[in-house]
Amino acid sequence: MRYLAIGDGLCSGIGASFLSPGFIHRHARMAEEVLKERVSVTSIARSTYRSNDIYTLLEEKRVKDAMKDSGIIVLSAGHQDYIDAMNKYKENKNETEFFRSLKTCKSNIDDIVQKIKDMKSEQNDKYMLIILGLHNPYPEDENAEKWIKNFNRYMESMARKPPIYALNIHQYFKGEEEKWCTRDLLYPNNDGHRELARKMHEIGYAAIHEEVPVNK
């Protein structure tokens, strides 16, 4: 089984210590135990990638090939868009511009998901796509909270039925950011990566393997 992680700093494993695997590799190992086969991970992720960068990546042959070969696909997009938007908002307090960035980000991710669905439908094979939501590194800011909640609702709306799934990270991290996140709260820490892997594992694997139980 091939496993593709594509996206921004979340998928790239930022926040996990040097000798500790990020949630992607942890999830892949959990999947192996259930699927009873080796799960090989390909990661095409970078902390600097914004949602429009990730969409552009989908035109590259290496990405298309990895997408076609993968039964498990994990997408993280929007984190850098959000950080950029927050940095600008802190400077100019322009709410209109701040929420316009949300609209643009959602549109980009919608295009990304549709592109992935189109690629996989051409093959007519089984796959599962997990879309990662965002947590809020700025919980004290009311507009930041609105941005994140709106974003996560939209991700969940795209995952109404298999093989598309969404994981609302904010739902699990809210109020416990210091427990699950790095000191600057921007990324999951080691414990946060373990928790994300567990939550992804709980989604199950029914879309790619019939009647597979999950040991939560």
Q: Is residue 211 part of a domain?
A: no
- At residue 27's C-alpha, the angle toward residues 2 and 208, to 5°, is 50
CATH number at residue 73: 3.40.50.1110
Contacts of 168 (CB under 8 A, 6+ apart): 133, 152, 155, 156
Q: Is residue 184 part of a domain?
A: yes
pLDDT for the residue 19? 80
Instruction: Give the percent of the chain with pLDDT over 90.
Output: 91
Q: What is the pLDDT of residues 40-61, one digit of tens each?
A: 999 999 999 999 999 999 999 9
Beta bridge partners of 42: 4
Structure tokens at 116: 């992935």
Q: Which of 104, 206, 114, 185 is nearest to 150 (CA)?
A: 104
| 116 touches 130 (CB < 8 A) | no
How far apart are the C-alpha atoms of 84 and 9, rounded to whole Å?
13
**Structural domains in the chain (count):** 1
Q: Is residue 164 part of a domain?
A: yes
| 7 touches 75 (CB < 8 A) | yes
- pLDDT tier at 209 (50, 70, 90 boundaries)? confident
- pLDDT tier at 216 (50, 70, 90 boundaries)? very low
Over residues 59-72, mean pLDDT: 96
Q: Is residue 214 part of a domain?
A: no
DSSP 213: -
Residue 212 has pLDDT above 70, yes or no: no
Q: Is residue 84 part of a domain?
A: yes
| 146 touches 153 (CB < 8 A) | no
Q: What is the pLDDT of residues 137-177, one digit of tens each?
A: 999 999 999 999 999 999 999 998 999 999 999 999 999 99
Q: Is residue 215 part of a domain?
A: no
Query: Cβ-count burial of 160 within 10 angstroms (0-12 exposed, 13-18 middle, 19+ buried)?
Result: exposed
136 or 216: whose pLDDT is higher? 136
Q: Is residue 75 part of a domain?
A: yes
Q: Is residue 26 part of a domain?
A: yes
Q: Which range of residues forms the domain containing residue 105?
A: 2-203
DSSP 179: H
- At residue 83's C-alpha, the angle toward residues 45 and 46, to 5°, is 10
| 3 touches 70 (CB < 8 A) | yes
How far apart are the C-alpha atoms of 175 and 34, rounded to whole Å?
32
